[in-house]
Structure formats: C-alpha cells, structure tokens
C-alpha cells in the first residue's frame, strides 16, 4: 500500500490542473491546508487491486464553484457530517474514500476528507479528467446511481437524496440548492463496495496526476516537458499526448450566455486556432478545421512559466501551448459520448478522436517507442 505524503502535493497540484483540461478549478488555500496537515502525517492510498471486495467506500467531492470554495473554506467538520449521515442512511460503515473527479480541486478535497477521517483513499476516479456534471462519470456507464447522496451547503444545511433517481435530474436539483446557498457545497455519495469500484473506477489516476505533475517539476524547457509528458502518457491508459498548437492568445470573447467562451490564438507562422471552452476546454479549431474535441483532454501550458493553466488564467498576449491527451477508452464509447460528447455541451458537432485527427502522428510515427 502506498502513502500520500507531503511530497505529493506539489506534483499533484500541477497534475490536477493539467487533467482539469482548463477547468476543474484550483484552490491554493485548500492545497496549502493539506500541505500543512501532511507535515508529519500521511494518507493511505489503495490501488484498485488492493480494494477489499466487501468494504464500502464513499465518494466525496466539492460541488459548485471552486472559486467560491475560497470564500467559505471547508472546515473539515462538513466531511464528517456528510459521511456519518450517509452511513446512517445506508447502514454501511465506510472503510475508505473514493475520488469522483480526479482533477482540479476535487483531487484535493477527498484527500482532506481522508486525512480528517483517517480513512484510506482510492487510486482511481470516475471521470479521468474534469467534467462539470454528476452524470459525466463511469458510474453512469455501468448504470449505477449516484444516490444515496448527502449534500451539505455552505450554511451547513443537509440535503438528502436517498431514493434512486435519474442522475440528470439529481444534477439539476443539487445545482439549484448550491446556487441558492453560497455557490459551493460538499457531497458524499456513490456508496459502493470495493468489488464494484474495481469495475467502475479508472485505475491509477491519482498516481497518474502525480506523474504528470512531476514532468512539470522536472522539465527545464518546453521540448523536455513535452518528451516527459509523452513518456508518461504513452505508458498510461490515456495514450500519447499530442501538441495541438503553439501560439499567442490574441482575443478572448465571451458570448451572452455566460458559459460560452472562445479564445483565439495565433502562431508565429500566422496559423489561427480557436479554442472553445465553457468551464473546461471543449473544442479546438485550427484554421477552421476541428483539431480536438471533448472528451479528449485539451490542456493549456503557459510557455513562459512552463506550467499548466486554467481557463480563467488565460489573458491576451499570453504564449500558450495546447496539448491534447486522448481520453480513456471508456469515455469514448457511445454510451459515454451520450453524456460527455461535444453535443452535451451544446455544440453541433460530433466527437472525433485525436488518433483520427492526428493519424500520421499516432500511426506512422513511433510515439510509443
């Protein structure tokens, strides 16, 4: 059994931003709290193989706006309350914490919960990247419900969703509560035994996030960073990373509906790339042709700082490299694309895998070598 120690935090921080694919949020305050708490402690990390078949785990996470989590920082008390409440209603005694969204701020919150409850955490998650909604998980693919789910808002009001209900509807209900109660809440749900989690979760994603982050710490220049990322991603179930574009942000436009945004990048050669994003980066068009689409990950790297950046950190004049990372295979099947494909975000286009868009790169060049 591995242990998450203080050395994990910084690489995990960069890895969480990269896998956030532009979204997922980041809370330096939360990471700092964890960093301080891990000074002389550690969190047990269980790989999926190590999960006890009959022991129950619960998924915890932050729901709502990661930015607003800094407005009302989790005290840790809420984690105990929601887990105890969930135990009361399920009758199960939880023996561990499972991660639902293995990117952004939702990597750190389960770790904080694990630390406060003394429970181990699973090395795997149900999204493999950042997604904004509850149905966009691998649980959905296995027809497993999110409920029973306990939600606590920033005013410490408990909201119980105990009956089996449609995940889309649950998503709407929880968002409505969150919107009225401070924009951020914490949930405990997905109560499943190890035997189910072994089947459902994407394995090793926490370790993968750390490995991705290590690349950012080790690399001295962009080429080296790309090579390191290529090595790490080629040896994962995601697939080799590909460079989509390098250029300078010339424009960021906002559409009337708040979540629709687009950034325009120009390369030194004069090529133009349009990056469409809402919370996460969703589509990229180079000179009018699609070059990447959700659920594949589109992550931006600040070329001056050589660090991954979130969408709300992009500014005009910034030099960025956009990298594409193939989504795990399970997010690419029809049933998954019904909930995470481009059309789910309101775009009238279909998903085209990176391997098809970069045929030569993936099939002729020996990227796996």
Partner 1 sequence: MKLTLGIFLNGQSGTLIAGSGKYLLYEGKFSWQTFLDELEHCLSILGLSRKDVIKVYFTPPLSSSAKSDIKPIFHLRLVPEQFSAFFTQSQNLQKLVTIFQVTPEKLLQKLEENKEQIKKANVISIIAPFGLVYPEKEDKAIRILKKLASATILKSQDYPQLGFYEREKALLIADNFMVTVYPYLKQLRDFFAPYPPGIYWVENEAVCLTEDFLPQTCGKIYEFAPLLQIARGAAVLFGYRYSLALFKVGSTFKLFQVQNSLEVSELSPPFSFISASSVQPLLASLKYRLPENVQGIIPIFNFSSYYFSDSYPYRFYQLAFSKLLRYIGFLTAPAVLTSLTICKQEELYENKKNLLKNLHLINKKHNFLEKPVVFYQETPIRYLTFNHTILKVGLKESSSLQL
Backbone dihedral region for residue 91 (phi beyond 0: left; psi -120 to 50: alpha; all else: beta): left
Residue span 196-235 as binding mask against partner 1, x where in contact by CB under 8 A, dash where not: ---------------------xxxxxx-x-----------
Listed ranges 69-77, 122-130, 136-144, 265-273: which one lies at the site for partner 1 (CB under 8 A): 69-77
Backbone dihedral region for residue 183 (phi beyond 0: left; psi -120 to 50: alpha; all else: beta): left
Listed ranges 101-109, 139-147, 165-173, 300-308: which one lies at the site for partner 1 (CB under 8 A): 300-308
Decide if residue 32 touches partner 1 (CB under 8 A).
Answer: yes
CB-based burial, 174-188: b 16+ in 10 Å, e otherwise? bbebbeebbbbbbbb
Q: Which of 65, 98, 274, 299 binds partner 1 (CB under 8 A)?
A: 65
- Closer residue to partner 1 (CB): 2 or 72: 72
* DSSP string across 43-105: EEEE-GGGS-TT-EEEEEEEEE-HHHHTTS---SHHHHHHHHHHHHHH---EEEEEES--STH
Q: Which of 3, 49, 71, 84 binds partner 1 (CB under 8 A)?
A: 71
- Closer residue to partner 1 (CB): 305 or 363: 305
Decide if residue 7 touches partner 1 (CB under 8 A).
Answer: yes
- Closer residue to partner 1 (CB): 50 or 214: 214
Q: How far is CA 268 from the centre of its chain?
A: 31
* DSSP string across 256-270: SSTT-EEEEEE-TTS
Q: Which of residues 148-167 bind partner 1 (CB under 8 A)?
A: 154-156
From the CB of 259, what's the least distance to partner 1, in Å? 8
What is d(CA 69, CA 183) in angstroms, rounded to the nearest whole number?
Answer: 8
Q: Give the bridge partners for 297, in sequence order.
A: 325
Decide if residue 13 touches partner 1 (CB under 8 A).
Answer: yes
Q: Give the bridge partners for 104, in sequence order.
A: none
Decide if residue 258 touches partner 1 (CB under 8 A).
Answer: yes
Q: Which of 17, 114, 136, 178 binds partner 1 (CB under 8 A)?
A: 178
- The helix-helix angle for 205-218 and 222-234 (nearest 10°) equals 160
Tokens (6 digits) for 9 = 């935090």
Listed ranges 3-11, 85-93, 203-211, 326-334: which one lies at the site for partner 1 (CB under 8 A): 3-11
Three-state DSSP class for residue 12: helix
Decide if residue 181 touches partner 1 (CB under 8 A).
Answer: yes
Q: Which of 29, 172, 333, 350 binds partner 1 (CB under 8 A)?
A: 29
- Closer residue to partner 1 (CB): 13 or 192: 13
Listed ranges 64-72, 112-120, 123-131, 143-151: which one lies at the site for partner 1 (CB under 8 A): 64-72
From the CB of 255, what's the least distance to partner 1, in Å? 9
- Closer residue to partner 1 (CB): 48 or 83: 83
Q: What residue ranges in the chain does DSSP mark as E strands?
A: 2-4, 43-46, 56-64, 94-99, 121-122, 124-125, 149-153, 158-161, 184-193, 202-203, 242-254, 261-266, 272-277, 281-286, 289-293, 297-302, 307-309, 319-325
What is d(CA 185, CA 106) in angstroms, rounded to the nearest whole number?
Answer: 12
Decide if residue 62 touches partner 1 (CB under 8 A).
Answer: no
Q: How many CB atoms lie within 10 A of CB 315?
A: 11
Decide if residue 263 touches partner 1 (CB under 8 A).
Answer: no
Binding interface with partner 1 (CB under 8 A): 6-7, 9-10, 13, 28-29, 31-32, 35, 64-65, 67-68, 70-75, 77, 154-156, 175, 178-184, 217-222, 224, 252, 254, 256, 258, 279, 304-306, 312, 315-317
């Amino acid at each position: 059994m591995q242990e998450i120690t203080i050395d994990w935090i910084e690489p995990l921080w960069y890895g969480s931003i990269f896998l956030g694919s532009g979204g997922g949020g980041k809370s330096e305050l939360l990471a700092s709290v964890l960093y301080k708490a891990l000074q002389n402690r550690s969190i047990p990390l269980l790989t999926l193989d190590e999960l006890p078949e009959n022991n129950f785990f619960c998924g915890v996470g932050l729901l709502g706006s990661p930015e607003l989590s800094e407005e009302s920082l989790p005290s840790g008390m809420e984690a105990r309350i929601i887990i105890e409440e969930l135990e009361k209603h399920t009758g199960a005694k939880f023996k561990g914490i499972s991660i639902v969204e293995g990117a952004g701020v939702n990597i750190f919150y389960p770790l904080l919960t694990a630390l406060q409850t003394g429970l181990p955490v699973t090395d795997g998650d149900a999204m493999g990247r950042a997604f904004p909604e509850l149905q966009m998980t691998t649980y959905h693919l296995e027809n497993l419900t999110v409920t029973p789910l306990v939600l606590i808002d920033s005013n410490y009001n408990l909201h119980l969703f105990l009956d089996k209900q449609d995940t889309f509807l649950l998503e709407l209900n929880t968002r409505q509560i969150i919107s009225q109660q401070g924009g951020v809440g914490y949930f405990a749900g997905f109560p499943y035994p190890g035997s189910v989690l072994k089947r459902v979760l994407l394995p090793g994603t926490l370790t993968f996030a750390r490995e991705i982050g290590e690349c950012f710490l080790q690399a001295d220049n962009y080429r080296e960073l790309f090579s390191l990322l290529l090595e790490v991603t080629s040896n994962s179930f995601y697939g080799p990373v590909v460079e989509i574009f390098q250029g300078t942000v010339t424009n960021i436009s906002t559409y009337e509906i708040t979540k629709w945004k687009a950034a325009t990048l120009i390369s030194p050669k004069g090529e133009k790339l349009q990056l469409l994003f809402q919370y996460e980066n969703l589509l990229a068009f180079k000179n009018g042709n699609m070059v990447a689409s959700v659920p594949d990950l589109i992550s931006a790297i600040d070329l001056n700082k050589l660090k991954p950046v979130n969408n709300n950190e992009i500014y005009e004049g910034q030099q960025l490299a956009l990298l594409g990372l193939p989504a795990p295979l399970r997010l690419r099947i029809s049933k998954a694309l019904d909930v995470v494909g481009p059309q789910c975000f309101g775009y009238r286009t279909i998903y085209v895998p990176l391997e098809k868009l970069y045929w030569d790169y993936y099939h002729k060049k020996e990227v796996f070598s």
